Structure 1
Amino acid sequence: MRPARHSYYEATARRRLAGLLDEGSFREYCPPTMRLTSPHLPALGVPVAFDDGVAVGEGRVQGRPVLVAAQEGGFMGGAVGEVHGAKITGLLERALDVRPDGVVLLLDTGGVRLHEANAGLIAMGEIQRAVLAVRHAGVSVIAAIGGRNGCYGGMSMVARSCDRIVMSEEGRLSISGPEVIETVEGIEEFDSQDRALVWRTMGGKHRRLLGEADALVPDDIGAFRTAIAGFLDRPRPITLDALMAEQARLAARLERFAGCRDGVEVWERLGVAEPKRVPDLGIDAFNALLPSPAEAAE
């Protein structure tokens, strides 16, 4: 009998944690019973959440110890505020003490919580610094992206600072969201209502072909679990040489794809056969295109 599939996209943060971690292994830090809520939202007449939109704690994945954070996209779009950010930063700092096999960040967020703009921006910087410190200590940091809100704003930079990124086709990753680009540059530059365009330029398939995502999995919590388990205790070097190599790769990519206005054009330059068919490919057929297109983007 095939195991039941549970949509990652549709799940809440806690349902994702339940499916990712070994049964009964999760121990939550700063649970909702502690009522650590945002100090800023009540002053604005905005409802609070007793976990401030993120669950953090420890558990096991296939028997291996991990620290985990799961953003709740249903609360303020998973946006990061002071308390929300402090919980993720504290989790990462704990990794320096306990040295788990990995830190897993289930990201589902539009970025900074505008209600707490300055506090949220500071929190974002603290998270990114903590991610780099954990990686420098040799602990793998893995981001998972496949929720309704995608991963935008400052948290997209956090994601790209991680050792690995696991995405589903439904996931999206970009520094600016579709609506932001349209507002700033106009609908002629980017039509945020063109959902196919959004996924061609920000979606999991596009990010995987560019080599930014390390695995593309079906919209299934179990598939995320399997991919994440494969990346535990596999840190990437975080050295000046590695940073310079990444900078050179990005500079070459910018030159190579200059003038492309759609993901299809990028895929064509990557050498993907019949690039217009990419959005219609199933996960197995899509992954059969790799690794050559991703290597071509190096």
Structure 2
Amino acid sequence: MMPPVFRFAPSPNGLLHLGHAYSALLNFDRARETGGRLLLRIEDIDATRCRPEYETAIYEDLAWLGIAWETPVRRQSEHLGDYRAALERLSALGLVYPAFESRAEIARLVAAREVDGPWPRDPDGAPLYPGDAKSLSADERSHLIASGAPYALRLDMQAACRRAARLSWNERGEGPDGERGIVPVRPEAWGDVILARKETPTSYHLSVVVDDALQGVSEIVRGQDLFYATSVHRLLQVLLGLPEPAYRHHRLIRDEACRKLSKSSRSTGLRALRAAGITPAGVRQLVGLG
């Protein structure tokens, strides 16, 4: 039997905080306990926010915590061709279409629809795509793209769900409402999610399933904030013929006001804690790992 493969996959768009430390340590500990491997992946597809100095800080902070990982590190920005190939496979199935509305136009469409009542929102609270880009003809789409209009490539969720059987995943951790074991998949709750944009040939949803498959990740240990997104990931795995990993979602580390930590949380940033004299063992105590 092959050893299990784990991964920690931060984005270099800010400094790591206690929440990142908790997730990284859980992955590291699980790899050691099971005789598995730990990979580090740098999710840097957002070129406007990701910076080299933050990537360097990730390596330094993880090493300070005593975490070791395999090399070379996979950087998403160096593998855009992998995501483009996956997108082309979905397009060949007739499951991808371009939508040309800006964020401001989408906000106006939602506001207009909510005159008749609340417009549906995804599990993260964002309104589902309200546009009618699927009704555009091939010529109309080609003309808009040729004109240089910005666009997002969206998954036709209704068509995608028709191609997939009833799906589920094996939850080895715990969801926000205590979900465990076999969890049914509900990707339709997310609407027509974005898979790529004109300027970026991928999105989080697409790149994460492609990366996990290419890297042979067998157990995904991550925060409960991504629990419901697993429905989209399982759907994409089936559509692309990718293997199904096990999932272990963990509790979130929160601030004094019970809010999820962000990279602007200076009081819980690893750099700030280290400067204040906190040790790696102290970080383990702060996140409840003893």
- Asked if TM exceeds 0.5, the reply is no
The structure whose Rg is larger is 2
Higher relative contact order (CA 8 A, sep 6+): 2
TM normalised by structure 2 equals 0.24
